[in-house]
Amino acid sequence: MTRLTRARRARATEQLARVVTGLAAAAVVGAAVFVVAYIVKNGAGALDVGFLTGAPRDRGRAGGIFPIIMGTIYVTVATAAFTLPVGVLAGVYLSEYAPRTFATRAIKLAITNMAGVPSIVYGLFGLAAFVLTAGLGRSLIASALTLTCMTLPVVITATEEALRQIPTDLRHAALALGATKLRTIRTVVLPAAAPGIITGSILGLARAAGETAPILFTGAVFQMRRLPDSPLSQFMSLPYHIYAQVTSVPGWNRTLVWGTALVLVGGVSIISVAAAVWRSIRRRKVTW
């Protein structure tokens, strides 16, 4: 009889656990869906060809956001160009070559923590280091370098994490065939880890594309007559445009600002989804 009661109680606890965890998951999904739905509802009205291909008029209260989209693309691509090679190589060093000492562990921990430093701090650092000390002025390249500092920890950590997932046996298989360490990494380990590295990197770059604080002091401007034509040009950018509209334009056009937010979220989502699809195609082939 007691045994039966205990079994019943265990079943009830199990049910409760399912409900509690389910509610937590629903809250998270619900919040995300609400945010996206809200942006779409308010911003969808702004989306048309003129908005995506035109220049802003009347301080952004009318017209389009084409130069603003292009500015974000430029600065994000430049950030990727700096971040990916340095970040992946540093991750490979930390994971494959660095001696397993206390110092290495401390460095890894410091890098992980760097990802948590508030972005405004990176903005200040960028202003001091790239704009003033390096003499780059407020420019696209100074902003890209600042965003690189912010994104590097994410890419390094993602690379390290992805490399750690690769079974030791696979490395040993290559080494036992007489492959050098470099060849093992280049032909076996990195290709197998590529999906993880790319996913992590895209998450980091998506965050960089949407950041305002690091570009605020280092190169983003409110209004420009032309597209950036050199790395030393200033540039317009989606997140900064939203910030400037809301804080400094009296009577700002709500639909256009929501539309700008929708373009930012949509662009980042498309890239994330594309990466996820690519990864799942790869995953079907690669399992252990």
Partner 1 sequence: MVTAVRIAPDGTLSLEAPYVGEAKRSLAEVADIQGSFTLSDVSVAYGREVVIEGVDLFIPPRAVTALIGPSGCGKSTLLRCLNRMNDELGNVHVQGEISLDGQSIMGRAMDPVELRMRVGQVFQRPNPFPMSIYDNVAYGPRTQGIRRRSELDSLVEESLKGAALWEEVRKNLKKHAFELSGGQQQRLCIARALATKPEVILMDEPASALDPISTQQIEDTIAELRSSVTIVIVTHNMQQAARISDQTAFMLRESLDTPAHLIEVGDTKKIFTNPDDRRTESYITGRFG
DSSP letter string, 206-248: HHHHH-SHHHHTTTB-S--SS---STTS-B--HHHHHHHHHHH
Token pair belonging to 243: 């910030």
Nearer to partner 1, 3 or 100 (CB): 100
- For residue 202, the minimal CB distance to partner 1 (Å) is 21
User: Smaller CB distance to partner 1: residue 7 or 177?
Assistant: 177
Give least dist CB 100 to partner 1, A. 7
Distances in Å between the Cα of 34 and the Cα atoms of 31, 37, 86, 167, 222 are 5, 5, 37, 40, 30
In whole angstroms, the minimum distance from the beta carbon of 90 to partner 1 comes to 21
In the bound state with partner 1, the residue whose beta carbon lies nearer, of 21 and 180, is 180
Footprint of partner 1 (CB under 8 A): 100, 167, 169-180, 183, 187-188, 191-192, 285-287
Which residues neighbour 260 within 8 Å (Cβ) at sequence distance 6 or greater?
Answer: 43, 46, 65, 68, 238, 241, 242, 245
- Measured from the CB atom, is 39 or 192 closer to partner 1? 192
**Coil vs helix vs strand at 56:** strand
Q: Which amino acid is at 46?
A: A
Nearest to partner 1 of 141, 174 (CB atom): 174
HSE-up (13 A, CA, CB side) for residue 93? 10
Closest separation in Å from C-beta 169 to partner 1:
4
End-to-end CA distance of the chain: 46
Least distance (Å) from partner 1 to the CB of residue 94? 16
With H, G, I as helix, E, B as strand and everything else as coil, classify residue 180. coil
Q: Which of 226, 227, 224, 229 is nearest to 241 (CA)?
A: 224
Taking the least distance from each CB to partner 1, the nearer of 100 and 226 is 100
Q: How far is the CB of 288 from partner 1 (least distance, A)?
A: 8
